[in-house]
Chains A and B, each alone.
Chain A
Amino acid sequence: MNYRLHHLRELEAESIFILREVAAQFQNPVLLFSGGKDSIIVSYLAKKAFYPAKMPFPMLHIDTGHNFTETIDYRDFWVKELGCRLLVGSVQDAIDQGKVVEERGYNASRNFLQTSVLLESLETGKFDAAIGGARRDEEKARAKERFFSHRDEFGQWDPKNQRPELWNLFNARKHMGEHFRVFPISNWTELDVWQYLALENVPLPNLYFAHKRKVFQRDGVLLADSEFIPKRPEEQVMEMTVRCRTIGDVTCTGVWESNASTIEEIIEEVATSRKTERGGRTDDKRSETAMEDRKKDGYF
């Protein structure tokens, strides 16, 4: 007998271990759900980790009001599939109540507003751990983040003062008012995610597959035509066959010209792609350290 595991099975075992550790070490965890493939895979793994019991924590969606409609449809379908509870933190409500002020102008996005709604939702729900789908291969600041990532009472990340993580030992001790972000799929790459989704036959939002859509070009990125993005006069809308590699808000998620209409074709495309998936995310392009800066403030 050959006691070896395929790398996807080893990653799966690691993620399941982390998810069970969250349930064991925290009082009141919550799983952050965006509707993207990474949070889909984390929630899928959470279902597996506690089988045949239900996952012992709810899901939280920070709804910016600027979603692709497909994302919300999928979210509601997926919550039923998993049989879990869904909580929604609404950016629109926060704007309406005057808690936050909408960004204006060219490339305006609600990305930044998500942070304060997220932190408020965590505080209201008294959540001490927020499970997320961030991966270390996505972005250079994330490459340094721990599985169990400590946040102070302001929700801030201190990258220079992170707790060392060795072996299988995770330290979830904290003071009152502090919380943790936990990233069970830290060690997965984009390709691992797709290969696993294919292996397990996980249902996905249609946005990931090639479809016809009205788009326009801005700063070298294709954006979906939407009422939420004011266009400049020179920005021409055209219909193209595209798909999303990541899913965020309509306002900051670039789409890619692609004919990949099955998961196998997506794997093929990802395996041969020479551009990173976040290459289409205008929220990352605001500066060289945009992600680190946002994470320090309490972003996902």
Chain B
Amino acid sequence: MNSELLRFSTAGSVDDGKSTLLGRLLYDSKSIFEDQFEAVKTASERRGEEGINLALLTDGLKAEREQGITIDVAYRYFSTPKRKFIIADTPGHIQYTRNMVTGASTSNVGLILVDARQGIVEQTRRHAIISSLLQIPHLVICINKMDLVNFDQTVFDRIREEFEGFASKLDVQDVTFIPISALKGDNVVDRSNNMPWYEGTTLLYYLENVHIGSDNNHIDTRFPVQYVIRPYNDAFHDYRGYAGRVAGGILRKGDKVMVLPSGFTSVIDKIDTADGEIEEAFAPMSVTILLKDDIDISRGDMIVRANNQPTVTQDLELRICWFNDRPLQLRGKYEIRHTTQAARCIVQEIQYKMDVNSLHRNLEDKTVRMNDIARITVRTTKPLLVDSYSKNRITGSVILVDEGTNETVAAGMVI
């Protein structure tokens, strides 16, 4: 067994072929079962729809099935011998920006669908901007419905050039373009015979082979302490283990480390797991660290290296996506959650809102409503140990929680 996990997100509306594409990936990889397929077929017939509506596979909630739209993020799974895939399938409309942001937050790959007949439209730009804001490491642009433009290379090239021109303003590192027909199956799982001019890989080949080994930060050591393990039994009388998930870098037995915010230094005595001791740990492993010295450490502290520390600060510059019906309050107080730490914060300033279709900065209207992207400054009640989001997606991200309703009202990325 040697297979990796790849998470990718898609966004799209009813008619751009997203469901057809996902349906094909699931069906061709045998991840749709006969009884599911039968159930969808029966449901499609009952609704009087022509053909089989594969969207019914992913749109699981009653309201979604009634209204024929995707409302929430749906997670779908399939695997090939090389990789296991988790798809975060999200709606594409602007009123669901928050769902796209949610799906994108953990993705390795962002899959953007473009209708070859229409080229780059507002929704394409929006998806690309969100992917770039959330720093999805790889983007794959599937130019779909090539069968409806006679598999014409000039159409593909024109769309590609247009996207590249627009993407130059974005922070995207790795973009791949694939001409496909989700309906006919061209370049999805099997190579197309209709586009001999295309020399790249099929979508599935891309998903199976895109290099994701560097998507986790393996340079800057960050270990947020999640839980302190104290067995209180005879066999492990003095055991004091700091359990957590590695957020960055590599921790090795014998390493000199520093604990923040206290600043005490010690040496890693042992990296423990239920399967025994291990020599080194890296993201995203869950392990337990034991130190040589007895230091007072609790949840929310972070184990790092003395020569490579995160920023310790009470003032944060954030790019946020707002999730709630009630707008963001200037001078409002929220709970802020970061790694395994929680504090309170006050919104000091709203610099601007960003138009998620054009990147335009709106400095006049500063009312941040549901689905808005904005840049804000907050001050926290205690210092947080942060990195910029572009350096580390785990130590660079926060959520804001309304202390009255307990709802998660915003996702924030440290600038």
Contacts and interface: CB of A to CB of B under 8 A. Distances in A.
Q: Which of B43, B339, B408 has the most CB of A within 10 A?
A: B408
Interface in A183-200: 186-187, 189, 191-192, 195, 199
A51 B230 CA distance: 9
Nearest to A174: B406
Contact of A274 (B33, B59, B74): B33
B33 A171 contact: no
A292 B213 contact: no
A47 B364 CA distance: 55
A23 interface: yes
A137 B273 CA distance: 28
A49 B75 CA distance: 25
A276 B33 contact: yes
Interface stretch (B121-129, B256-264, B390-398): B390-398
B35 A10 contact: no
Given A52-B235, A141-B60, A173-B401, A187 B75 contact: yes
A50 B229 contact: yes
Contacts of B72: 144, 159-160, 162
Interface stretch (B153-161, B201-209, B280-288): B280-288
B380 to A, nearest CB: 15
Given A17-B245, A292-B62, A164 B98 contact: yes
Interface stretch (B13-21, B77-85, B188-196): B77-85
A285 to B, nearest CB: 10
B24 interface: no
Interface string A270-299: 000111100100000000110011000000
Contacts of A16: 245, 286
A141 B62 CA distance: 8
A143 B273 contact: no
Contact of A279 (B35, B75, B411): B35
Contact of A171 (B74, B338, B401): B401
B79 A189 contact: yes
Nearest to B64: A144
A166 B411 contact: yes
Nearest to B7: A187
A191 B79 contact: yes
Nearest to B406: A173
A274 B3 CA distance: 22
Contact of B284 (A6, A10, A137, A141): A10
Interface string A5-33: 11111111110110011011000000000
B347 interface: no
A163 interface: yes
A97 interface: no
B239 A52 contact: yes
A124 interface: no
A8 B83 CA distance: 11
B84 A7 contact: yes
Given A160-B63, A276-B36, A186 B105 contact: no
Interface in B214-262: 216, 218, 226-227, 229-233, 235-236, 239, 243-245, 247, 250
Interface string B81-103: 00110100000000000110110
Nearest to A280: B35
B345 to A, nearest CB: 14
Interface residues of A, number: 66
Nearest to B299: A24
Contacts of B288: 51
A281 to B, nearest CB: 11
Nearest to B72: A144
A232 interface: no
B295 interface: no
B352 interface: no
Interface in B371-415: 393-394, 397-399, 401, 403, 406-408, 411
B5 interface: yes
Contacts of B226: 17, 20-21, 24
B205 to A, nearest CB: 18
A13 B285 contact: yes
Contacts of B275: 48
Contact of B33 (A53, A159, A175, A275): A275
B186 interface: no
B286 A288 contact: no
Given A3-B282, A160-B71, A144 B61 contact: yes
A167 interface: yes
B285 A144 contact: no
A49 B71 contact: no
A6 B75 CA distance: 20
Contacts of A292: 60-62
B309 interface: no
B229 A52 contact: yes
Contacts of A9: 285
B55 to A, nearest CB: 11
B174 interface: no
Contacts of A214: none
B394 A53 contact: no
Contact of A169 (B3, B77, B272, B399): B399
9 contacts: A3-B218, A24-B226, A51-B273, A137-B76, A166-B101, A167-B397, A173-B406, A275-B33, A279-B35
Interface of A: 1-14, 16-17, 20-21, 23-24, 47-54, 136-137, 139-144, 159-160, 162-169, 171, 173-175, 186-187, 189, 191-192, 195, 199, 273-276, 279, 288-289, 292-293
Given A7-B4, A168-B247, 7 more contacts: A3-B216, A5-B284, A20-B286, A48-B273, A136-B75, A168-B339, A173-B403
Interface of B: 1-5, 30, 33-36, 39, 43, 57-63, 65, 71-77, 79, 83-84, 86, 98-99, 101-102, 105-106, 213, 216, 218, 226-227, 229-233, 235-236, 239, 243-245, 247, 250, 272-275, 280, 282, 284-286, 288, 299, 323, 335, 337-340, 393-394, 397-399, 401, 403, 406-408, 411
| Complex A-B, nearest 8 residue pairs according to Cβ-Cβ distance, in ascending order | A140-B60, A48-B274, A51-B274, A173-B406, A166-B105, A7-B5, A53-B231, A16-B286
